[in-house]
Amino acid sequence: MKDTPGQSKLRDARVTMAHGGGGKAMRDLIESVFTDVFEPDGMEDQARLTMDALALPGARLAMTTDSFVVTPVEFPGGDIGKLAVCGTVNDLAVGGAKPLYLSAAFIIEEGTEIALLRRIVATMKREADKAGVRIVTGDTKVVGRGSADQVFITTTGVGFIAPETDMKAGNIQPGDVAIVNGVLGDHGACILAARGDMALSSDLVSDCAGLGHLMAAVQAACPNLRAARDCTRGGLASALNEMAEVAGVAVEIVEEDLPLRAEVKGTCEILGLDPLYLANEGRLVLFVPEDEVEAALTAMRAVPEGAGAVVIGRAHAGYKGEVTMRTLFGGARIVDMLVGEQLPRIC
C-alpha cells in the first residue's frame, strides 16, 4: 500500500551514502520519492511494453537518450526535472515520433535535500502527464559530496513513428521556409541571470516546454513537413548549421524577423554574447514548402507552445551547408557553428 505523505517511511532530510547502498534505506528512498509518484507497473528490473501499432507495415520505434546537468537545478520557469522530461520528449517529437515512454536515472550527491528531490520528481510527473508519456523505469545512484552538483538526470525516451511519416533534415529543399515557434534565447539568458554571478537582475523565465502536441498539430496540417530540430545547446545557429549540412543546401535567415526579447538582447550586449547561440528548451525550427507556410503558422499558433511562431528565413541552392544572416544594415554575415562554450551547465 502506498504511503500517505504523513506516513512516509523516509525520515531523513538529506540524502546519505546509505541511500545508495542497496539496502532498506535505498528502498525507502526509491519508494517514497520516486515510485510512489511515477507509479510504474511492478518493480521488475525492466519495463515491459506492448504496442499493437508496430504491426503496421512501415511503423517504427524511435529512441533517444540525454543527460541533464544545470546550475542552479531550480530556476525561474522550471527545474532539472522539467528539462529532463521536456528535452527527451522534444528529441522524439522533432523527428516525427509520438512520445510514449521514458526512463529516468538519477545521480544524486550526498547531502542533497530530500525536499528538493521531491519537488523535482513532482515536476517530472506533471510534465510527463502534460506530454502524454509515462515514466516506466529508472535507477538511482548516490555519490559522495563534491562528486556531482546535487542531482544529474539521464532520461531515455521511446516513441512511435507512423508509416506515413518521413521527417529528416535530408528532405529540406531549396525554397523551403524556416519557421520558429517563439522568442529565442530565454532559457540561456534566464539561467545566466539565475546564477547571480554577473549581478544581473531580470524577469526572464525559461522557455522550457514539451513540444509533442505542437509537432502533432503541424504534422496534421502540413503533409510535406520536411524536418524539425529543437534549438538546445548551441541555439538556433547550431541547429540550422546541422540541418543545412545534412540537406546540402544553404540557409539564409533575416535578422529583422528573429523574435528576441529586449531583455535577452540587452543581456547579450552587456556580456558580449550572440543570442543566436543561446540555449533554448522549448523552441524549435522547422522547414516546410512555401505552399504550406500559412497552414504551418496557423497550426502552430493554435497551440500555446507555438503562439509566437514566425518565419525567419529559407533554404536556397547556395553554398552547401552555409548559413547566413541578412543584417539590419542590409549586409550579410556567416552564422557558423558555435565554437567553444557560451554557458556551462544550461541543460
Answer whether residue 114 is part of any domain: yes
Half-sphere exposure of 246 toward its Cβ, with a 13 Å CA cutoff?
16
- 340, burial (CB in 10 Å: exposed 0-12, middle 13-18, buried 19+): exposed
Host domain of residue 74: 5-161
Final residue of a structural domain among 121, 142, 161: 161
Supply the pTM of this predicted model. Answer: 0.92
Give per-residue pLDDT as tens, 29-80: 999 999 999 988 877 788 888 888 788 888 899 999 999 999 999 999 999 9
Question: Where residue 150 sits, what CATH number does that domain have?
Answer: 3.30.1330.10
Average pLDDT, the chain: 92
Give per-residue pLDDT as tens, 313-324: 999 998 999 999
Q: Tally the domains of the chain.
A: 2
Give per-residue pLDDT as tens, 178-225: 999 999 999 999 998 888 766 666 789 999 999 999 999 999 999 999
Question: Where residue 315 sits, what CATH number does that domain have?
Answer: 3.90.650.10
Final residue of a structural domain among 137, 161, 185: 161
Residue 278 DSSP SS3: coil
Q: In angstroms, how far is the first alpha carbon of the chain from the final one?
A: 36
Residue 285 DSSP SS3: strand
**Are 84 and 123 in a shared domain?**
yes
Give per-residue pLDDT as tens, 7-31: 567 888 999 999 988 889 988 999 9
Answer whether residue 209 is part of any domain: yes
**Are 157 and 306 in a shared domain?**
no
Answer whether residue 341 is part of any domain: no
